[in-house]
Amino acid sequence: MTTAPTLWDRDQRWAIAAVMGFLALHLVAAAILSLSPDETYYLSWSRFPAGSYYDHPPMVAWWIAGGTRLFGETPLGVRLLFVLSIVPTSCALYATGQLLFDRKVAALSVLWLNATLLVGVGGISATPDAPSVMFWALATLGFALATRTENGAWWLAVGVAAGLGVASKLTDLFLGPGLLIALIAAPDLRRWLKSPWLLAGAAAAALVFSPVLAWNASHEWVTFATQFARITSGGLQPLRFPEFVATQFALLNPLVGTFVGLAAIVWLRRDQNYPVGGIGTLMWTVLPLVAYMALHAFHGQIQGNWLAPIFPTLALAAAAAAASAPPERWAGGRALAFPLGALLAVLGLIGSANPGGVIPPALDPGQALHGWEDVARKVDAYRQQTGAAWIGVDYYGLVGELQWRLADSTPVPVIGIDEQRRYDYAPPVDTNLAVHPALIVTTSKLPAAVAACFSGLTQIGTIDRRSGKETLETLTVYRAASTDPRVFSRECGS
């Protein structure tokens, strides 16, 4: 006899449908939308696999290399693994929800994670965020399995996932302290602090992360220095904190963000009408990262994606609070959170394409994607006009864009002339190029110290990067008769 579907079965089907629907939408958008400067910069990394890079650990380059092996250096090839990662991320989140709460909460958390703007719109981008999010979610699942099943071997899975997370983005370093705090905060979990399995998990994380450490040890720890230099303690800027909160609230989706706030209140008040233990466990794991970013929000701007790794955890905590909340008070918000997120995601992706250039630059969510093909075409025209033997660029994103777009049509190298340490992953530049004419393309006027590195430097024009009829930025183009060879190995003018 066939059993009628239960409410939980319907919840599971909705979660699966949401993941598959967003996956299809993201695959189409990933194939259609042009690559951003950051994506082409990471693409250039993928051509030269290494243990780490100037800006980030290597996972983003490894994933791009895997996707381009299948679909070539196309937008879909570059983004493929990043888009697909939402499937294992959602599965890990669902399994964690089942272990800590129940199937209803698990399914709702998957719906809400996909309905966040960070995932719904940003889920197509080939950046370190997607692997960072996925491995944090997998490590959290391992933590739930270890503590719920009492099987210490799961700590090895936690360690491997955490190590891979840090090999994706250094932000995942905050997961370790969060897990330790969660163990200390729960009396029934403190016994794990004396378990050899916990140490084994830490050793597994260190082993997985060791290639990044080895590379940095031979490169003056540049990845760590670059990342931690992004957050400095400047003067007090109190308005940055409400900006930080508002940005996270928006990226979570305003309704999902509301339930995250409810979960935090429930946790702090120890409201026994809610699953406080499970919510508390989740909140302790994210506390170090949230506290660190909140503190620095008083001194400078915090980029919205810097909290990306904890979005699955926040979605799960929000779903747990919402599922236990009085229906008469929160039913509307629960019902509308996913449709609102889906609508905003569709509008955001359409807006990123900006068909016809109808969205003004100040409101264009995809401004970084537009106008590069025309820029590359005009740069190549100047290159042919001047007979340049190489193209020098002062911005790493423009280096990536021109390398990618001119690879099949321009027989000269595109070389970064500023922050040369960014390009340590690539083979040394042929210094014989220095005696030949060069085309220099800059995002701003060349400083005098940089200009002194070139002989016969003459400004020959400008190039507007445009979206529709709107000018997004103006690039300056120079011709140089020859170059100081030291430009290829150290900072210009240093």
How high is the pLDDT of residue 151?
96
Q: Where are the chain's structural domains? A: 7-353, 368-488
pLDDT at 233: 57
- Give the pLDDT of residue 1: 36
Rounded-to-integer distance, Cα 487 and Cα 416, Å: 9
Q: Decide yes or no: CATH 3.40.1380 for domain 368-488.
A: yes
Please identify which residue in the block is written with the tokens 């002194």. Answer: 452
Whether 51 and 425 have beta carbons less than 8 Å apart is answered as no
Continuous H helices in 115-174: 117-120, 129-149, 154-166
**pLDDT score for 10:** 78
- Note the pLDDT of residue 381: 96
- Going by C-alpha positions, the residue among 293, 269, 294 that lies closest to residue 279 is 269
- What's the whole-model pTM score? 0.94
Low-confidence ranges of the chain (pLDDT < 70): 1-9, 230-234, 491-494
For helices 327-353 and 103-114, what crossing angle results, to 10°? 30
Q: For residue 454, how many other CB atoms are within 10 A of its CB?
A: 23
Question: Other C-beta atoms within 10 Å of 190: how many?
Answer: 11
In the chain, the percentage of residues whose pLDDT exceeds 90 is 75
Q: Which three-class secondary structure state does DSSP give residue 414?
A: strand
State the pLDDT at residue 32.
95
Q: Where does residue 476 rank: exposed (0-12), middle (13-18), buried (19+ CB within 10 A)?
A: middle
pLDDT of residue 7: 44
Task: Give dist(CA 339, CA 335) in Å, integer.
Answer: 8
For the packed helices 175-185 and 154-166, what is the interaxial angle rounded to 10 degrees?
140
Q: List, as one string, the DSSP characters of 228-273.
A: HTTS---S--TTHHHHHHHHHHHHH-HHHHHHHHHHHHHHHHT-TT
According to the model, what pLDDT value does residue 420 have? 83
Residue 447 is predicted with a pLDDT of 78
Round to whole Å and give the CA distance between 437 and 389: 6
pLDDT at 418: 84
Number of H helices, E strands in the chain: 20, 7
